[in-house]
Structures are given as structure tokens and as C-alpha cells.
Amino acid sequence: MNIPLVDLKAQLATIRDDVFQAMAEVVENTAFIKGRFAQAFESAFADFLGAKHCVGVGNGTDALVVALKALGLQPDDEVVVPAMTFIATGEAVTAAGGRVAFADIAPDTRCIDPAGVRAAITPKTKGIIAVHLYGHPADMRALRAIADEHGLWILEDCAQAHAAHIDERAIGTMGEMAAFSFFPGKNLGAYGDAGGIVTNDDELARKATMWANHGRIGKYDHEFEGYNSRLDGLQAAVLSVKLPHLRGWTESRRAVAAQYSAKLAPLQDKGLLTIPQDHEGHVYHLFVVQTDRRDELLAALKEAGIGAGVHYPTAMHTMPAYAYLGHVAQDFPVADKLAHTCLSLPVYPELSEEQIEYIVAHVSNFFA
Ligand SMILES: *Cc1c(COP(=O)(O)O)cnc(C)c1O
């Protein structure tokens, strides 16, 4: 059996007619950049989250950069970033002119550890980027307490956490700003690059809108030098077709994760495999197990046609890209350990019971 890590064709089959009709409408209307299709998605997505504003941009990395610019990041300002995330989180800080300061992650949530944030704060620290890694909500209550105590802002990196929540509050509404990626493989994905910035603050929304569009609101009234990163109509139309399905898809992801967790529990009891901690607001962008025999298990699954992945093989502080910070692996031991032990099993809404059985059987046989 061949099971990919993500199967976008299986999803397309369920929405095909709506997608092609929506795309045709954009082309007929020649509403390619921003325009009414982009606006319709921005307001639908803000409503979905219970947020006041969504500003569409070109991709998730730009969403982070533009949000940091809107928050007023200045050269040499420091931003605390988890040592385990996709590089875009750190890159955005540097691209916006600031300096990256890493913090370790917590072993249970695998998101930024509030104690690590405290340890990373200096007089130059201006904010924290909370990444809801793999779809598990970061500990926003503890982070908010630290931010308030030190006068810092929080930017949520929600690239892996569409529809995630803590109690009744949506992820993306608990920081001063939030950045979403709609990269095709994310839980809500376009058919190309797309991103969005979410905030409840009118002024931050206005600044982000201007930063992402040459420092202007009207056609040629440039108040400052900005940037060009805009949501295009075709991507917005695809996202508008998909958004009404997001809750159902999220439930399906959680059901897949529940099956994996139940079936793999005996391996965890034997100390062979660590299953991700559940949280009612976890949206399982990835289902990431941990084992000391990661590379061997990965090879065994590949052999069986199972598209397992590694997210991510290197913690940020040990990447060549951040060698200039002078860290050693043990500076952030939880992040480093995760990088060496993590393995992502396929998880998507259309994954069948038969496919799950097949994957679980191969994982169990590997340890037998
Ligand atoms: C995907 C991702 C991004 C970047 O999104 P793009 O749309 O690919 O630029 C940022 N942060 C995290 C955690 C991501 O997973």
C-alpha cells in the first residue's frame, strides 16, 4: 500500500466542482490582486476566528514579517522564538530587522516553554513569537503573564494551527497579532502561496495593511516605504471554498489522531514510543511520535510505502543559519532531543481506517 504524508488529491475530490467554479469566477472578474474575492475571504476568516481583522498577504513568512513591522520592530530589538519550529519563524525576525533569541520548548506541548522565555528575556526584548507547533496550542496563559510583566507583545505563529483553540478562544486571537500560512499542505491550504495576519487592534491592522502594500491605503498616498505582499484572488477564492469544511476536517484529523493514540498506546507503555500529548484544541497538523530509533523506523515505514516525515531534523539553534549566535546543542536540550527523535505519521482528514491499520501494524511490527 502507498500512503503519502499528505494527500491533497483526496481532498480535491471532495470539493472539485466548487473549487473550479470559484476559480473561473475570479478569472471572469479579473479580480487577481486583492479585490473582492480577497476581501470576502479576509472577513470570513476573521469571523471564523472571532477576530476583528484579517489582512491577506502573500504567504505565511510574509505574514510574520509584516506583523513584526506593524508591531514597530526596530534594529537590534530582540524577539524570543522557540528553538524548534520551521525556520520561517526565526527568519522573519531577521528579515524585519530584529534579532532572534531562542528559548527551549516544553516536552509535553512541544511549544515554547514559558520558563525558557523568562530565561531569554533581556533589556532589548520586545516580544515573543508563540508557535503552536504541530497544531498543539502553546501555553498562552503563562506567556501572557510573562508578556504583561515585562511589557512585551506576543505574535502567534498559527501556520500549523488553523481552528486550534484554548477553551472557547481561537488560536490567533490571544496575541497582539497572529500570522497564518495557507501553504497548500497546511490545515487550511490554498493552491499556491497565501498568508494572513489576524488582530483585534484597528491600528495594527491598518499598519499591517499598509506595510503589505507599499505603505499605502489609497492608490498613490504612500505614507512610508513598505513592501509588496498581497493575497491574490484565485488563492482567496479557493480558501473561501475550503473554509466551511475546516471544522469537519479538523474533527476528522482529531479522529485519526485518537485512533493512532489508542492503537499505539501499548508501545508507549513499554517505553518504546512517545505519543503526542492531546489537548481538546489540538488540530493535529502533524502527528509526531518520538523514538530513539527514529531513523530505523523511518526507513522501515518508507520500505512499506508509508510517507512518514521528520519535522524537523535540526533544531534551529544548531542550524548553520544560526551558527552566528554561537549556541551548542545542549543550550536547548528539549528542542535538540525532539529533532533527533521526532517522526511524523500521515495525518489528513481522508485517511481511511484501513490505511491507519496498515500504518499501525508496520509501526508495531518494527518494535516487535
Ligand atoms: C509553514 C510555516 C511558516 C511559513 O509559511 P509559508 O506560507 O510557507 O511562508 C511559518 N511558520 C511555521 C511554523 C510554518 O509551519
Mean pLDDT value across residues 86-91? 98
Ligand 1 geometric centre to CA of 159 (Å): 5
Query: What's the pLDDT tens digit per position in 120-137?
Result: 999 999 999 999 999 999
The three cell numbers of residue 34 are 486583492
**pLDDT tops 90 at residue 113:** yes
- Dig out the grid coordinates for 259 from the structure: 485512533
Q: How confident is the model at residue 218 (pLDDT cuts 50, 70, 90)?
A: confident
Considering only CA atoms, which residue is closest to atom 10 of ligand 1?
88
Helix (H, G, I), strand (E, B) or coil at 58: coil
- 21-68 pLDDT per residue, tens: 999 999 999 999 989 999 999 999 999 999 999 999 999 999 999 999
Is there a contact between 343 and 302 (Cβ–Cβ < 8 Å)? Answer: no
Q: Is the pLDDT of residue 217 over 90?
A: no
Q: Give CA–CA dist 222/117, Å, rounded.
A: 37
pLDDT, average across residues 228-242? 97
Q: Which residues sit with their C-beta closer than 6 Å to ligand 1?
A: 59-61, 85-86, 88-89, 131, 157, 159-160, 181, 183, 193, 195
β-pairing, 177-181 with 153-157? Answer: parallel
Question: What's the rounded mean pLDDT across residues 67-80?
Answer: 97
Contacts of 293 (CB under 8 A, 6+ apart): 366
**Closest ligand 1 atom to 63 CA:** 9
Torsion sign, CA atoms 335, 184, 198, 166: negative
CA dist., res. 347 & res. 288, Å (int): 10
Residue whose CB lies within 8 A of the most ligand 1 atoms, among 157, 171, 229, for a mutation test: 157
Cβ pair 105, 112 in contact under 8 A = yes
pLDDT per residue as tens digits for the range 153-188: 999 999 999 999 999 999 999 999 999 999 999 999
Q: What is the pLDDT of residue 7?
A: 95
pLDDT tens, residue by residue, 186-214:
999 999 999 999 999 999 999 999 999 99
Strand partners, 128: 80, 154
Continuous segment of H or E residues that includes residue 20: helix 8-29
Cβ atoms within 10 Å, residue 218? 7
Residue matched to cell numbers 516525515 = 309
**For residue 148, is pLDDT > 90?**
yes
pTM value?
0.98
Q: So what's the pLDDT on residue 159?
A: 98
**Cα gap 161→109, rounded to integer Å:** 13
* Residue range 315-335: mean pLDDT, rounded: 98
Cell 530509533 -> residue: 293
Ligand 1 mean position, distance from CA 112 (Å): 16
209: Cβ–Cβ under 8 A, 6 or more apart, which residues?
A: 55, 217
